[in-house]
Amino acid sequence: VVAILIALVSYVLAFLSEVTIPLLVAVLLTALLLPVTKRLHAWGVNRGLATAITVLGGLGVIAGVLYLIVSSIVSQASTLGTNVTTGFNQLAGWLQNGPLHVSATYFNADEWVTRITDWVRTSQDTITSYAGEITSSVGHFVAGFALALFALSYFLHNGREIFEFVMRFIPRKSRRRVDSAAQNGWHSLSSYVRATILVALADGVGVLIAALILGVPAAPALGTLVFIGAFVPIVGGFVSGFVAVVV
């Protein structure tokens, strides 16, 4: 029965992923930002104003991080381009002259232009479907982002009241135990988010220091990229770190 219930809940969550994922993101952000809202409220700031300051401040931090990455890459685009070209030429030379003996035609620019042109000519339907999927995905992302912000504002402002409303669906004799378990779970989630930030900060600072010592271009952008990637479980740190190593 428990297994069937878990499977059913998983199916519903997956089926409604366009709603459940933004809500889960809002819950994680609430665990991160709620101490800020509580601190502002303790200082005498109105709860609504404290919530607005927290949400807008969080958006400002995200925008600042993205600006740091983009501006750092743009300001050193020529150096990055030169490094990438040099690295590609070195890799191509090794593939041709090393143990693999890859044919030089694979690195001929004219040959690649011909192949790409032929592929585009014969894949119009595929490209059109991909374009439609990308447009739809962008729309879903924007809607999910708006829903996450909406839910985050309510969770920060009336999170406890919302939970007490949900508790009405729990049998009265079990509410105290459920509330205690939920409080413990919330504290664990908050600790997990803080620990994730510390791990991401350690990853980003480590890459930044190594990049500065080696004189790698766009070192702040690489460090910031690794910091952001560390928030994606399992693969985020590896993928962003791989990018930094390649650069």
> One digit per residue, pLDDT tens: the chain, 247 residues?
999 999 999 999 888 888 999 999 999 999 989 999 989 988 988 888 999 999 999 889 888 877 877 787 777 777 767 776 777 778 778 877 888 777 776 666 667 667 777 777 777 777 777 777 777 778 888 899 999 999 999 999 998 899 989 899 999 899 999 999 999 999 999 999 889 889 999 998 999 999 899 888 778 888 888 888 888 878 888 888 888 887 7
Helix axes 124-167, 175-214, angle to 10 degrees: 140
Question: Residue 247: which of 83, 94, 90 has the closest Cα?
Answer: 83
- The whole-number pLDDT of residue 222 equals 83
- The whole-number pLDDT of residue 52 equals 92
For the chain, state the CA radius of gyration. Answer: 24
